Every structure is written in C-alpha cells, then in structure tokens.
Amino acid sequence: MNKIWAFPLALAFFACNSGEKNQKMEIKDYPETAKVDTVDTYFGTDVPDPYRWLEDDRSEQTAEWVKAQNEVTFGYLNNIPFRDKIEERLTELWNYAKESAPRKHGDYYYTYKNDGLQNQWVVYRKKGLDGAESVFLDPNTFSEDATTSLAGTFFTKDGSLLAYSISEGGSDWRKVIVMNAEDKSIVEDTIRNVKFSGVSWKGNEGFFYSSYDKPEGSELSAKTQEHKLYYHKLNTPQSEDELIFGGSETPRRYIGGYVSDDEKFLFISASVSTSGNELYVKDLSDWSNPIVPIAEGFESEHSVLDNDGDRLLIETNLNAPNKRLVEVDANDPSTENYKDVIPETENVLNVSTAGGYIFANYMVDVKTEIHQFDYEGNKVRQVELPGIGSAGGFGAEKDDEKLYYSFTSFTYPSAIFEYDIEKGTSELYWKPEIDFNSEDYETEQVFYESKDGTKVPMFITYKKGMEKNGKNPTELYAYGGFNVSLRPSFSVARLVWLEEGGIYAQPNLRGGGEYGEEWHKAGTKMQKQNVFDDFIAAAEYLIAEGYTSSDKLAISGGSNGGLLVGATMTQRPDLMQVAFPAVGVMDMLRYHTFTAGAGWAYDYGTSEDSKEMFEYLKGYSPVHNVKAGVKYPATMVTTADHDDRVVPAHSFKFAAELQEKHASESPVLIRIETNAGHGAGKPTDKIIDGIADKYSFAWYNMGVVPMDEEM
C-alpha cells in the first residue's frame, strides 16, 4: 500500500472575520483522502472498499489523515462565534459536587465523589457512617493528563484486600492492581491483559478474572476471539495462573466467573454473542470438583442472583421474555428443574438482594417500579419512590439493615436515598446543589406510531411555556439495540440545550430492552430496519406535532446509536438539519472482523451468513449508502483514536465517503479525540469540550444564535 497520503487543502472561512454577521462559514476544500482498488466479493457481488487503508491504525498515512481532518474540524469549531460562551456555561453548570451511594466493605464505607470539575472521580472512605472521611484512591494521580481511569473496584468479603482495574487512554484492555485496603500498600505485581472482566475473590487467597490472548497486529483493532477464565493465586506470577474455563477446548467469546457470597460456589457464564449464555457451577469446597452445567445453549439468558446453601436463585428469560426468578438445587441444577420464585409479568424484571430480601425492579413503560419480596417469593411491599423516573442500586449485604439507592429523571438531578429494609421507609441521604430549577421544565411521554403501526414510547423534555410553532431546536437521541433500555435520567450537559429553548426527545426504539426480549428481537438481524423506521417516525411525529421542523432538528446517537444516525441520515437526508453519529458501527460488511465485533452478530447478523443477510446489511450499511449528488445534513462524526470497542476506521470511512460525495454546502466534519476510547473514563475537561463543540455546531448550522450572541 504505497503512495497513500491525505493532503490538507485550503479552507475558506467566511463571516467570522468578514463582518457579515449572517453569512456562515464555508469549508471550501476537505483533506484529500486517497483511494485504493480493494474489492471484496460476497456471494458473487463485488463491493469496492476504496478507503480500506484507513483501517490500519498504526500507519503513518492514517495518522497524517487524522491530523489533517482535525485541523479542518477544530478550525471550523473554534471560529463559531458563541462556542466559547457555551463552554463557559457548561463549565459553570458542571461545577457542582457529585457523589455515589456508599457501600460497606469491612469496617469502612466507600463513596465515589467529584468536587465539580475533577477529571476523574475520587474514592473516599470512612469508618462507620459518622467517621472522619479521607481520600482512599485518587485516579487523577494515575496519569498527568488524567486519561488513565479507574475501571472497577473489587474487595474481598472481609474488605481487607482490594483489586482495582485501570484503563489507559480509554482502552477496553485493563490492568489489575492489588492493594492492602488498610494501609494502601501494593501487594503484588500488576495483572495485565485483562479485558471484559470483573474480579471475583476466593477468600483472600486469590481471584478469578477473564481475558484474551493478546492479538497479533494492533491490539486496538485486531480481532479477539477466545475469552479465558483464569484463577490467580496471590503473590504468584501471572504466567502461572490456572486456566479454569475457555480456550481451544471450550471456545467462547465472553466468559465471566463469580464466586457466591458464602464463597461455596463458582458460577461461570459463557456466551458467543451479546445475547444468550450458558451457565455452569463448580463447588469450591474441593478444588477437584467438576464444572457442572446448569443451562446449556445460547438461546436464553441466565444469571445467579444468590444462593441459600444449595438452593440457587437464578434470573432468566428462559420461556419468559420479560424474565422471571427461579430456584434450582445445586446438586441437580438443570433447567428442567427450574421452579418459579417470582413469575414473569407483563413488565421487564431485574432483581437484586439486600438485607435478606429480594428487590424486583420492574420497568413499566420505561419507568421504574420497585417491589420487595422475601426469599420465598412472597411480596412484602411496593417501595414508594420519590417520583416517576429511574431508580437503581437496591443492593446490600445480607446482614445490612439499610441500603442506599439513587433516583433520577429528566428534570430530577440524581439523588441518593437511605432505605430502611425492614420498615420500608426512605429518607433523602444526599442531593446535589446545582444551578437548576426543575419547576422551569417539564417532561411528557407520548406514544407515536411507527411505519408498521407499532406504538413506540418517547419522552420529550422542554422549558415550560414552549410553543409548538415548529421553530424549536430539537435533539432527537436514541439507541435501539442490544437489549439496552434508555431510561429517564438527568444530564447537566443537556441543561445548556434546554435553558436556551431547546427540546430533548428520547424515543425507546425496538432493538432495546424496554419491553423485554420480544421488543429486542424485533430490531435485530432481518428486522433491523424497524429500528430506523421507529427513529424516522419519531422525527416525523415531532415535526407533525409542531415541536420542531426539519431545519431545526438534530439527530444523535453513539455506538449502535451511531449506526442508527448513519443509517437514518443516508435513508432520509431531508429529515434533519444536523447529524451526530458518534463512535458508530458504520461498515456493516466488515464490523465482525475487528476486536470483539463478531460478538454483535446476534443483533446484526454478518455478511458471511448468507446472500440474503449480506444484501440486507449492505442495504443499510452507512458506509455503503452514501450517494453522490445528495444533500446530506450538516454532520459531525465523532470517534477516538483508542476506541477498541468500535474501531475508528468505521467513522473514518464514513466521513471520507460523505466528504467526497455530498452535494450540500453544509459541513461534514470528523472530530477525532486523541488518547481516548469508546467513552468510559473520559476526563471531565474532554467531555465538556466535546459537548461545547456539539451544541455550538448544531445551533450554528440551524441558524440559531444562543446566549444573546451575534453571528
């Protein structure tokens, strides 16, 4: 692959320096992206891939292309007149104290806190709830630029040892460090090459974790295939860690191991995709005991909630698309012996335990209901929540008398409540002090009709007094995949948009988990178009009802939601003024060849499955559906150079196609974050920068002038 270069050509910026207030900037030339003659053949059909070279994240040519694109992008963004004011207001709003619910480990209560603008949250602890608080672990000291983040904390049952994982530059690859919790001394050498894994302790002797063999080639883009569950004995070399499950004999893409609370059993979950798993159990009373299957095959999902001796409580969607809680004897644990403890209902169930009780978190039209049960499945009460919204965190040890849960909604900043488990009463434990008056805003939930007649719910939030005159800037955000549910939640970043008269709309598309596995499956494989149709119908509803209009509508989504935006804007470029596809899956013919992408096949199918599946994927794949001469919306593609979940080549190729072919004067930019990944662990300053760029780009291209600025 020779003579492939990206040349930054001239940009012509008008208006900002010309004194003509109403004339927008125009990008006269984009960096030139070289083409290659790569062609793939699928079932007799040739498919060119002219930007294949951008998949090489280690090449000098790709690095030069990234640099050239960022020069154009930030040159444009930095010349938006009101961009700095947006960042200033975001910073003001963001600068408030935040904290998590406390969790008890040993003699200490641990809490995550951020005093306002710290790049990474800090772990504090105190002896007893009334003890003196001190810093326990400060991830802001992990690296000079704060791009190394704390990815997880895992204590032994007695709280004396902690294994914590770190992520460098946002990568999914982790390092695990073990420390003595009392004096914070490091116990042993770092465990490396851990990925998609927690840490589960067996006493204080050692722990289970999962990883892949380091791939050949780039660790940020090369395919990872066989997950392995290891046991690490403390103070021994990682090279001596024992393989427990996985590898060539039992190849699985995702494997997790977790020890029961009484440390009697090891439970192993194994899967080949993001949906459905096998479940195994091993009696740890004798290391030579075999691994025994509980549930085999990948058609359903199973996870152990808890055990009472040999009685296992398992959450499953086997023969229950909305899930149920069952029990089975560990001595004869096949699925044929499952017995209902909490049967399936019409609402999706998730369960947790605290204080010797089971808490059932039901999703009722995407809103939370909590019901408390005893271990025999007898209902004790429905928990009274502070309002309509999302609650979570109903977990604690069996002997705890209280638990701490969070509650939030679109106009309710996340607060923490203390719940008396026996009495069933809640008291406010902590709430943020933020420059926000919830009485100034309102949220409504509507149900609109999609293309095939399916009713789809959508939340719409806006400032009170909003007129349905079709002139309101609107952000339409969704996900629609992988059984993920978008619940009501508060976002300080969103406040800037709302207080300037913007509308935020969040539909719950098929492909998500809001109505159980049937809702999920209705947006997978050969039914994936339903997801795009649901999103398009949401936009059409907002326009028809006068909330907004096409020239005031921005669509956004990340990861699978980035695919959603890419597919929607290529199918209906007339529908929106602005598009924000973030870290998106854009090349649907090759996504499964990178990192863990093959695990997404349950939702997507692959181009190798069949001629029919190939043609279906090609029919909506964003990279393959950009057409010459079409006027596409103002677009800012966003990705990161260390994203090893959805590799940046997806976004690179999509941006290159758009820049070459679109016929509109609207800009097509790609914003490439450096030393960052898919999103987790991103420093606060980078988050604020990204949001300021997003909102200023949207308003500028809608012709909206916020904050009394002139344009």
The residues assigned a catalytic role are 559, 678
Is residue 424 within 8 A of residue 442, CB to CB? The reply is: no
Task: Identify the residue whose tokens are 């966003």.
Answer: 638
CB-count exposure of residue 562 (10 Å: 0-12, 13-18, 19+): buried
DSSP string, 269-282: EEESSSS--EEEEE
Residue 291 φ/ψ, nearest 5 degrees? -85, 120
How far is it, in rounded angstroms, from Cα 353 to Cα 15?
60
How far is it, in rounded angstroms, from Cα 493 to Cα 67?
28
DSSP string, 463-480: ETT---SS---EEEE---
CA torsion angle for 49, 55, 59, 65 (degrees, to 10)?
Answer: 80
Provide the phi-psi class of 288: left if phi over 0, else alpha when psi is between -120 and 50, else beta. alpha
List, in sequence order, every beta strand (DSSP E) within 575-620.
578-582
How far is it, in rounded angstroms, from Cα 453 to Cα 430?
44
Is residue 460 within 8 A of residue 553, CB to CB? The reply is: no
- End-to-end Cα distance, the chain: 45
How far is it, in rounded angstroms, from Cα 485 to Cα 707?
34
How far is it, in rounded angstroms, from Cα 695 to Cα 129?
41
Tally of CA atoms within 13 A in the half-sphere of 697 that contains its CB: 31
How far is it, in rounded angstroms, from Cα 382 to Cα 576?
43
Among 207, 95, 257, residue whose Cα is nearest residue 684 = 95
Contacts (Cβ under 8 Å, ≥6 apart) of 348:
322, 323, 362, 363, 485, 513, 514, 515, 516
